[in-house]
Amino acid sequence: MTSILTVIGARPQFIKAAAVSREIAATDGIEEILVHTGQHYDVNMSDIFFEEMGIPEPAHHLEISGGSHGQMTGRMLERIEAVMQSEKPDAVLVYGDTNSTLAGALAAAKLHIPVAHVEAGLRSFNRTMPEEINRVLTDHCSDLLLTPTDTATRNLLDEGLEASRVHQVGDVMYDAALYFGEIAAGKSDMLARSGVSEGDFVLATIHRQENTDDPARLAAIFEGLGRVARDMSVVLPLHPRTKARLVASGLAHLTEALTVVAPMGYLEMVAHEKAAAVIVTDSGGVQKEAFFYGVPCVTLRDETEWVELVDAGWNRLVPPRDPAEVQRVVSGAAGTKGSDIVPYGRGDASVRILDALRTGLR
Asked if residue 156 lies in contact with residue 149, where contact means CB atoms within 8 angstroms, the answer is no
- Residue 161: what are its φ and ψ, rounded to 5°? -75, 145
Query: CA 135, CA 147: separation in Å to the nearest integer?
Result: 12
Catalytic residue selected from 40, 207, 239, 272 = 207
- Indicate the burial class of 232 (C-beta count within 10 angstroms; 0-12, 13-18, 19 or more): middle
CA distances from 115 to 128, 144, 170, 181 (A): 25, 6, 18, 30
Q: Which of 130, 185, 139, 190 is nearest to 161 (CA)?
A: 139
How far, in Å, CA of 119 to CA of 133, rounded? Answer: 14
Residue 354: which of 167, 178, 98 has the closest Cα? 167
Q: What is the DSSP letter of 141?
A: T
β-pairing verdict for 278-281 and 201-205: parallel
Cα–Cα distance measured from residue 25 to residue 17, given in angstroms and rounded to the nearest whole number: 12
207: annotated active-site residue: yes
Exposure class string for 307-326: b at 16+ Cβ within 10 A, else e:
bbbbeeebbbbbebbebeeb
Catalytic residues: 207
